[in-house]
Amino acid sequence: MEDPIKLGLAGGWKHIDASALPHSQTIDTDVVIVGTGAGGGVTADLLSAAGLRVVLIEEGPLRSSSDFNMLESEAY
């Protein structure tokens, strides 16, 4: 399975680590989703596919499939 985060970044997603910004920043968007879990990720995908500009806000760092053990039998 291809890593959806790496595919998205390669396809034009922008990732901003707000903790590294020297000052506040204004971002123009149609929708803001707080939380990038299963619900937030699916919602963002659907809304962006419909042409809306979507911003996801997450407390933690950006993680991709390569950061996790993807074998179910070993992951738990």
Report the length, in residues, of the chain: 76
Predicted confidence at residue 39, as pLDDT, reads 92
Amino acid residing at 70: M
| pLDDT classification of 24: cutoffs 50, 70, 90 | confident
Q: For 39-59, what is the mean pLDDT?
A: 93
Total number of domains in the chain: 1
Predicted confidence at residue 54, as pLDDT, reads 95
Structure token pair of residue 69:
């053990």
What's this model's pTM, rounded to 2 decimal places? Answer: 0.71
| Residue ranges making up the domain that contains 12 | 4-74
Longest dimension (CA), the chain: 44
Q: pLDDT tens digits, residue range 26-43?
A: 889 999 999 988 899 899
